Amino acid sequence: MDRGLLIERIIQEKGRDAIPALFDLLINEDDDTAQICFEALLQMGSDVVPELIERLWVARRDPVAALYLVDLAGEIGDSRLINPLYNLLKEYSDEKSQTIIYESLAKLGEGEKVVGILSLFLEESEEQDFRDQIIMALSQTASPEAVTVLARQYGDEMLDKSGKAFILEAIHMLLSSNLELKDVLLNLSNGNEILERLYLWQREI
Distance CA 20, CA 32 (A): 18
User: 120-158: per-residue pLDDT in tens?
Assistant: 999 999 999 999 999 999 999 999 999 999 999 999 988
In tens, the pLDDT along 24-83 reads 888 876 778 888 889 889 988 999 999 999 999 887 777 777 888 999 999 999 999 999
At position 61, the amino acid (one-letter code) is: R
% of the chain beyond a pLDDT of 90? 61
Average pLDDT over residues 5-31: 79
| Structural domain spans, the chain | 1-91, 111-205
Residue 103, CA distances (Å) to 16, 69, 72, 129, 133 in order: 27, 13, 11, 15, 9
Quote the pLDDT of residue 2. 64
Cα–Cα distance for residue pair 32/35, rounded to 1 Å: 5
Residue 36 has a pLDDT of 84
pTM, two decimals, is 0.90
CB within 8 Å of 25: residues ≥ 6 apart: 33, 34, 37
Residue 99 amino acid letter: T
